[in-house]
Structure 1
Amino acid sequence: MSTAKWISFSLYLFLLLSQFSVLSQQASAEIYRCQLDAQKSPVFTDSRFKCEHKKAQLLSVKAPINIIERKVLASIPDLSQRDPSANFPDDGRKYCAPVAVSNSLSTAMGGMPSTQQIELARTLGSADYMATGTKGTSPKQLLQGLERYLDTHKTSQPSFYKSKLEYRGQLSVARKYNRDLDRQAELPWLINGIKQEKHIWLNIGWYQTQANGKQKRIGGHWVTLVGYEKLGSLKDGKGEYLIINDPATRGGDNQEQLTVNMTKLNGRMGYQLMNQASMPKKADMAWLDGAIQLAL
């Protein structure tokens, strides 16, 4: 068979198998090779009745099917907290929360040039709102500061009138942000939030293994959640990823895909975030400590 004909067959086979991906755990398709036509070219089909003279050679094909479910909010920018032109306090070392939130708000406000977004991040981190300091920004500071910002700017941004903030995670916040006292930001909750195009920020904890085998939190970080991907066979259902814009990286069009691994941290089940680029070298694990969602 010539290279061109083999490529055509491979493409046909791929398209045919893809039809079975949502119908079964493991696809099984019958492919027939018809007798040669007048030009001596093989003909392939999924039905032996389509072959002339009913002469067909059955090619049994069984292949594991990978499914992909993916959504990315591509319009959300990726400002870097270390951007030299921003001149954030302390060179932006602790400015991850204001920058992560500014990524989302700039989109909600119709988009803005980077110079304007830098001013937005600076405003969010100021003493009037999140009061970001030498220890960074806690979930409580982010929630209260962001709510204050939304309230004071709702006249110019009508969508802010219907804003709703929700937190799930390990730290204590005002009950109005976590009415059910959910201690875990569950993956389905995050994925549903992206599907509804909510604005979401992940609070990542960095942990180091101690001599007694326990994990100690040695730092943390805020990132903007911009998407998710589910990849795996229908049989095992494995393969879930969160897609983020990380303020600690160089910014620009550099979305980061984190593998989500459900495991235990000091005896508690939760989500380990694999391959987290900005995790310090002295840390052994990046952990999803919590998350905040904003609906507008």
Structure 2
Amino acid sequence: MCKRLFFLPVLSLLGMSGLTLRAGPAIPPVVEPARNAIPDLTQTDPKGNFPGGGSTYCGPVAVSNSLWAIFGSEYGWWEQFTQYDLVRKLASQPFMNIEASKGCTVKQLTRGVDTYLRKRGEKGYYLKFQGWRPHDQCHATGHLQPKLKWIKEILSLQRSAVWLNVGWYCETPNKGSARRIGGHWVTAVGFGIDGEGRADPDYLIIHDPAQRAGPPAQEFVKLSRIEGGVLTGVYENLPRAATGFYLMEGGMHLKAGAHHAVLDGAVGLVLREKQQTDDSLDPGATSTLDPFR
């Protein structure tokens, strides 16, 4: 479905650094994780005791949801290490280096994930970004607009994760333009059905770490392709044409002051199958049970 607003979203995984995914089975029409299979932590949860109340911790919290789903069972023996501890590690200086007064950039998020995976001894993984936000060349795909098919391809694989970079936009007096006033990170966990359980290829299922999203629950977000207008704002790489980007509607909880949520970008992660990872571990790598020792 395409939309024209007051301001006016065919790709296989290609040539991936370290890990190359060859053409496989068709993307399933629906991917919906089992209840509680992927955490849905709230960034302002008092139990986390994050700096600044967690107001700028959407990035490390969104990432922690996926990494805890993949690796959390390995911390089972270490009762004192919780997902809150993982968030604090990801946000710390050696990883994402999050400041209590600033949000998480694409560079910070991808560098933090890279550092975490290297400390675990993971090798040959795929970690890439699609979108217009500034990012390191090693994570570039050459696509300045996120592709829904790419997101679905990654989410349909084992040991994978997708984190969506949402842009908050408000309408302006200039007809055909919207101004970016901030951003947010959410965890993509599935696709293909709406909130009523009906099949719909335009829907993604997300876990939103913002307090405004309410108690932990799946959010069903409809992606509508924009067909005109301009995205503006005081950010590097803006202004740019809005055509081809996606509006995030339906279950997307808007930030106060924002009129629209736009999918500015997405980070995709695919790890090697477990047996491959185990075989390729560097004998000198840190123990996978305690990567921070």
Residues 223-238 of structure 1: pairs in structure 2 closer than 5 A: 223-229=186-192
Structure with the largest fraction of strand:
1
In structure 1, what is the equivalent of residue 31 of structure 2? 71
1:141-168 superposed Cα distances (whole Å, 9 cap, x missing partner)? 11112111211222xxxxx223221110
- Check 1:282–1:119 CA distance in 2 against 1; reply closer, same or farther (3 A cut): same
1:263-292 superposed Cα distances (whole Å, 9 cap, x missing partner)? 145142210000354312310100000000
Structure 2 distance, partners of 1:252, 1:199, is: 22
SS in 2 for 1:132: coil
Relative contact order higher in (CA < 8 Å, ≥ 6 apart): 2
Question: Which residue of 165, 176, 190 maps to 2:151?
Answer: 190
In structure 2, what is the equivalent of residue 173 of structure 1? 135
- Aligned amino acid, residue 248 of structure 1: A
Residues 240-279 of structure 1: pairs in structure 2 closer than 5 A: 240-249=202-211, 253-264=216-227, 265-266=229-230, 267-268=241-242, 269-279=244-254
- The list of structure 1 runs, each at least 4 consecutive aligned residues, that deviate by more than 6 angstroms after superposition, is none
1:24-58 superposed Cα distances (whole Å, 9 cap, x missing partner)? xxxxxxxxxxxxxxxxxxxxxxxxxxxxxxxxxxx
Percent sequence identity over aligned pairs: 36
| Mapped contact 1:240–1:260 kept (Cα < 8 A) | yes
In structure 2, what is the equivalent of residue 203 of structure 1? 165
SS in 2 for 1:181: coil
- Aligned amino acid, residue 225 of structure 2: M
Residues 1-296 of structure 1: pairs in structure 2 closer than 5 A: 69-74=29-34, 75-111=37-73, 116-133=82-99, 134-154=101-121, 160-178=122-140, 180-197=141-158, 198-213=160-175, 214-229=177-192, 240-249=202-211, 253-264=216-227, 265-266=229-230, 267-268=241-242, 269-296=244-271
User: How many positions carry a matched residue from both structures?
Assistant: 218
- Check 1:251–1:103 CA distance in 2 against 1; reply closer, same or farther (3 A cut): farther
Structure 2 distance, partners of 1:219, 1:284, is: 12
- Aligned amino acid, residue 104 of structure 1: S
TM-score normalised per structure 2 = 0.69
- Structure 1, unmatched stretches of 5+, are 1-67, 155-159, 232-236
Bigger Rg, which one:
1
- Structure 2, unmatched stretches of 5+, are 1-27, 231-240, 272-293
- Check 1:251–1:279 CA distance in 2 against 1; reply closer, same or farther (3 A cut): closer
Structure 2 distance, partners of 1:227, 1:285, is: 22
Structure 2 distance, partners of 1:263, 1:161, is: 38
- Check 1:230–1:275 CA distance in 2 against 1; reply closer, same or farther (3 A cut): closer
In structure 1, what is the equivalent of residue 282 of structure 2? none
TM-score normalised per structure 1 = 0.68
Structure 2 distance, partners of 1:279, 1:132, is: 23
In structure 2, what is the equivalent of residue 19 of structure 1? none
Deviation at 1:229, TM superposition (A): 0.9
